[in-house]
Amino acid sequence: MWGLVDCDNFFCSCERVFRPGLAGRPVVVLSNNDGCVIARSSEAKAMGVKMGMPYYQMRQQFGEEGIEVCSGNHALYGDMSARVMSVLRSEAPILYQYSVDEAFVDFEGMDMFNLKEWGERVVKKVAQWTGIPVSIGIAPTKTLAKLAANFAKKYAGYNKCCMISSDSQRQEALRLTEIRDVWGIGRRLAKSLMDSGVSTAMDFASCPRGLVAGRYHLPGERMWLELHGIEAVPTERMGAPRKSIMVSRTLHDMVADFTELSAYVADFAAACAVKLRRQGSACGLLTVFVDSNRFRTDLPQYHNSANTAFTTPTSATTDIVSAATGLLAELFREGVLFKRAGVMVSYLCDDEARQPDLFDFNPELDCKRRNVSDAIDRLNCAYGRGSVVLASQERCDVAVRDGGGYVP
């Protein structure tokens, strides 16, 4: 059996933990540049606020209807996610974090437990210890567990924990689930399936396996098997390290000054370095890109990128920030108002298995750089994210707060 723990309206719930007065009121969270809605409370959804709705449209449509608007605080969300996962790890034998607000639980070895009671107890514990409401779905496969979690959210009678344990329950869940709500069904595929007469999960599961495999290939066949209660989604895929990492932002204001833009890029690069160390990776290639405001056709337009390779893969903050700011110097153009910038690291390898360059590798210097990065991580963990930064970061206004911190 598998369990799926899903935090309810996670970003909004995090805001409510530190602002209890928001409880019961419509709340939305905006993207980093306050451009559009990226999270909605249940009350805001009921009012008709759509995901991705531009903020200016929301103001025009709903006016002063009492919607509380919060700018995205990804450092807070990351910290609250870590707290929730810590509580779950204390209760679950095997936990796979799937996203910032979701985790799968493998119930292997828990055959003697009443899993429904376990789920209800964990829901209460997470709420008590962190203030975050969660819903839990329990089923024979990961895809069915996702469906069960959706039912736990929608229907109060489940006490926030829905369990699919019999074939009749599985079939009823499939009949009540729209095809677009099945895990792995994107917008385009959902439209294609509905155009073909497949409107529910049961319709999809009723298709012949050979037809599904021929038309939708291995992912579709795996989905078909999972909906039939046959485990088919590989577990190792959920915890696999990312093959590339990118940190980018649309800047709140257009930037024409090199020093200011360089501070943003340095911050993005430092965040990439932290994320590399979190998953135990080192990068062999670094890319920096910059864009002007494509919506301001009255202004000069400029879009460009540049990359550099490391002779020895690295995860050191000093190496990555230095390379990123060096590339920015090549990309920068006077007279251009920059609206977006980003840093991406790729060609990742295991940090413990990286291949040093034979002619350009200084073990002593490499050790010092790694020690500096570890020290920065630990200080930021102890005193708060962003407490220690490189001088080139300059603590710019949109420091990448979701990239800092130390994960033991």
Output the pTM of the full model: 0.71
Q: Which CATH code of 3.30.1490.100, 3.40.50.2300, 3.90.650.10, 3.90.700.10 fits the domain covering 245-393? A: 3.30.1490.100
pLDDT of residue 406: 30
Write down the pLDDT at residue 404.
Answer: 38
CA distance 67 to 249: 25
| CATH 3.40.1170.60 residue spans of the chain | 9-76
> How far from 136 is each of 118, 165, 179, 202, CA to CA, in Å?
10, 14, 20, 22
Stretches in the chain below the pLDDT threshold 50: 395-408
**Residue range(s) occupied by CATH 3.30.1490.100 in the chain:** 245-393
How is domain 77-233 classified at the CATH fold level?
A: Alpha-Beta Plaits (3.30.70)
Query: 200 near 178, Cβ under 8 Å?
Result: yes
Residues 6+ apart with CB under 8 A from 272: 245, 246, 247, 283, 320, 343, 344, 345, 403
* Other beta carbons within 10 Å of 154: 12
* pLDDT of res. 235: 73
CATH node for 9-76: 3.40.1170.60
How would you label 265-303 residue by residue, b for 16+ Cβ within 10 Å and e otherwise? bbbbbbbbbbbbbbbebbbbbbbbbbbbbeeeeeeeebe
Distance (Å) of CA 166 to CA 163, 172, 222, 232:
9, 10, 20, 18
pLDDT at 399: 41
Tell me the C-alpha distance between 222 and 240, whole Å: 18
The ranges of the chain annotated as CATH 3.30.70 are 77-233
